[in-house]
Amino acid sequence: MLDFDKFTQYSKPGPRYTSYPTALEFSDTFTYDAFLEKLHAQDSSRPLSLYFHLPFCKNACYFCGCNVVFTSKEDKKERYIDYLIREMAILAQHIDVNRSVIQLHFGGGTPTFFNAEQLERIIAAIKSHFKNFVEGAEISCEIDPRHINDEQMKVMSEAGFNRVSFGIQDFDEKVQIAVHRVQPYDITKKAMDLARKYNMVSVNVDLIYGLPYQSLETFKKTLDLAISLNPDRFAVFNYAHVPWLKKTMRKIDETTLPHPAEKLAIMRHTIDYMDSKGYRMIGMDHFAKPEDELFKAIEKGELHRNFQGYTTKGGADLIGIGLTSIGEGADYYAQNFKEMDAYEEAIDAGKLPYERGVALNEDDRIRQYVIMELMSNFRLDIGRFEKLYNVKFGSYFADALEELKPFEADGLITITPSLIECSSTGTLLIRNIAIPFDAYMKRHASNTKTFSKTV
Ligand SMILES: C[S@@+](CC[C@H](N)C(=O)[O-])C[C@H]1O[C@@H](n2cnc3c(N)ncnc32)[C@H](O)[C@@H]1O
Ligand code: SF4
């Protein structure tokens, strides 16, 4: 049995580690020219993974932590497409666009806030620049079920999209009203049916726990309804409440948020419930059926983590295109401008809209490997690590091992000379377990207004 009191003591602000170093370390000291050098030096035999940020939404969901531009103006959307196309043309001067593409992802915002013709125009431009999509490439789109119709799904299906992800968050009406996202079950069901009609290989749904008025009882009902839609994958995110960064979150009454112990009970129940329905936990916040490739990857210890979450595709260079998008090479992270004016100005000047990033040194790469292994596979094969990096784990990470002693004493991890492994309860605290390996965290430790809470 879980000791909830003890467990909630671990709740503290901490990164979600979609990157290491985290975005807090991104800065303009990694200059535009240095970024271009990294792009030019890329190994052409490595495949590409393309991320397009399509930032528009009509109304704000109060919990939203994504990079969104709220508008309903058609001309703004058309103008954005023009700039995306120009950005790709500039990119083609700096990378070999004939490299094979193994992944394409449309993220948002709400990509399907673009209508069918607009989506078609974006996709045609992508395919005219990047001609070498591999057979079976993963092509995916994030979709708000309130904004999807038959025509849009048809366009995507004909263009080879084979994965979609729907935002649900919660089915409870009181919760929906409190977060300003009223989305009746029937709307989500219709969107699901469309995805099946167009033979999407994998359908994911997003839920969030930690929202206003949620309790174990309400969330049980949400899970029942979500399961009835029979998705292939679930993301069950821990609500990241950072009102000092996201103004719309200030509209949420913090006294209505569930306490850490309630959140933990929700997550514990979710894991058991998913298990009873044949889904297995993948990484920190995902669940998949055993036949899903994410599940197979975790079995082989080959799950990877990047800005889009978990993936089976390691070893590709991720190129971010569009406002605020983030790219990731073997030894750098690069983020585009967040402000539309600055984004457009750069492209008008014939430059890539790169704003800031970080070049990784040897220590960063070593820690990145350890943190991403833990975040993805909940274990670290120390022998494999030592062979890869030619360092002695025990002496290199003596401090971290000391910090992990309480976790070991509480049975959350086991540490042997050859392996670090989380217990099933320890997986719920994986962010806390990764923090001791983060060289930058000490600098931020005194600032509570940096990251969301881990529990
Ligand atoms: C870009 S949205 C998905 C597509 C579409 N815009 C929608 O909402 O349906 C990405 C997902 O991030 C999750 N999300 C957004 N803000 C979050 C937050 N503050 N904490 C945790 N998850 C969050 C939601 O589950 C959401 O579905
Ligand atoms: S959760 Fe999705 S629909 Fe809601 S504001 Fe954020 S990006 Fe837009």
Mean pLDDT of the chain: 93
**CB neighbours of residue 351 within 10 Å:** 13
Which residue's alpha carbon is nearest to atom 6 within ligand 2?
Answer: 64
CA distances, 351 to each of 32, 107, 318, 344, 383 (Å)? 9, 23, 19, 10, 44
Q: Determine the Cα–Cα distance for residues 333 and 355; give it in Å rounded to an integer.
A: 11
Is the CB of 239 inside a 6 Å radius of any atom of ligand 1? yes
pLDDT band at 308 (very low <50, low <70, confident <90, very high): confident
Could you read off the pLDDT of 395-451 as tens digits, one per residue? 999 999 999 999 999 999 999 999 999 988 888 889 999 999 999 987 776 566 666
Is the CB of 143 inside a 6 Å radius of any atom of ligand 2? no
What's the token pair of residue 161? 């999209």
Is the CB of 54 inside a 6 Å radius of any atom of ligand 2? no
Is the CB of 68 inside a 6 Å radius of any atom of ligand 2? yes
Q: What integer pLDDT is reported at residue 309 of this predicted model?
A: 76
Could you read off the pLDDT of 73-126 as tens digits, one per residue? 999 999 999 999 999 999 999 999 999 999 999 999 999 999 999 999 999 999
Give, in degrees to the nearest 5, the angle at Cα 427 between 423 and 4.
85
Instruction: Give residues with Cβ within 8 angstroms of 83, minimum separation 6.
Output: 343, 344, 347
CA of 107 to the centre of ligand 2 (A): 11
Q: What integer pLDDT is reported at residue 244 of this predicted model?
A: 92
What's the token pair of residue 335? 């983020």
Could you read off the pLDDT of 170-195 as tens digits, one per residue? 999 999 999 999 999 999 999 999 99
Which residue's alpha carbon is nearest to atom 7 within ligand 2?
Answer: 109
Which residue's alpha carbon is nearest to atom 4 within ligand 2?
Answer: 61
Q: Determine the Cα–Cα distance for residues 331 and 317; give it in Å rounded to an integer.
A: 10
Is the CB of 57 inside a 6 Å radius of any atom of ligand 2? yes
Q: What integer pLDDT is reported at residue 1 of this predicted model?
A: 47
Which atom, in ligand 1's list, is nearest to the CA of 241?
A: 19
Q: What integer pLDDT is reported at residue 436 of this predicted model?
A: 95
Element (H, E) at 336: strand 332-336
Output the pTM of the full model.
0.94
What's the token pair of residue 262? 């309630």
pLDDT band at 313 (very low <50, low <70, confident <90, very high): confident
Which residue's alpha carbon is nearest to atom 21 within ligand 1?
Answer: 239
Q: What integer pLDDT is reported at residue 294 of this predicted model?
A: 85
Which residue's alpha carbon is nearest to atom 5 within ligand 1?
Answer: 144
**CB neighbours of residue 155 within 10 Å:** 21
The arithmetic mean of pLDDT across residues 215-222, rounded, is: 98
Which atom, in ligand 2's list, is nearest to the CA of 169?
A: 1
Which residue's alpha carbon is nearest to atom 2 within ligand 2?
Answer: 109
Could you read off the pLDDT of 143-173 as tens digits, one per residue? 999 999 999 999 999 999 999 999 999 999 9
Answer for the pair 157, 194: CB distance below 8 angstroms, yes or no. no
CA of 208 to the centre of ligand 1 (A): 8
The percent of residues above 90 in pLDDT, for the chain, comes to 80
Quote the longest CA-to-CA distance of the chain. 61
Is the CB of 285 inside a 6 Å radius of any atom of ligand 1? no
Q: What integer pLDDT is reported at residue 447 of this predicted model?
A: 63
Length of the chain, in residues: 455
CA of 61 to the centre of ligand 1 (A): 9
What is the best residue among 144, 237, 249, 307 to mutate for testing ligand 1's pocket, by most ligand atoms within 8 Å of CB? 237
Q: Determine the Cα–Cα distance for residues 413 and 426; give it in Å rounded to an integer.
A: 6
Beta strands in 349-416 (DSSP E): 354-359, 379-381, 413-416
Could you read off the pLDDT of 220-271 as tens digits, one per residue? 999 999 999 999 999 999 999 999 999 999 999 999 999 988 998 999 899 9
Q: Is the peptide bond before 21 cis (omega within 30 degrees of 0)?
A: yes
Q: Is 199 left (phi over 0), alpha (psi -120 to 50) or beta?
A: left
Q: For residue 140, give the nearest of 167, 103, 192, 95 by alpha carbon.
A: 103
CA of 285 to the centre of ligand 1 (A): 13
What's the token pair of residue 149? 């119709």
DSSP class of 282: E
Q: Determine the Cα–Cα distance for residues 298 and 122; give it in Å rounded to an integer.
A: 34
Answer yes or no: is pLDDT of 59 > 50: yes
Answer yes or no: is pLDDT of 61 > 80: yes
Is the CB of 111 inside a 6 Å radius of any atom of ligand 1? no
Q: Of the ligands numbered here, which is closest to the C-alpha atom of 242?
A: 1
Which atom, in ligand 1's list, is nearest to the CA of 238?
A: 21
Which residue's alpha carbon is nearest to atom 6 within ligand 1?
Answer: 110
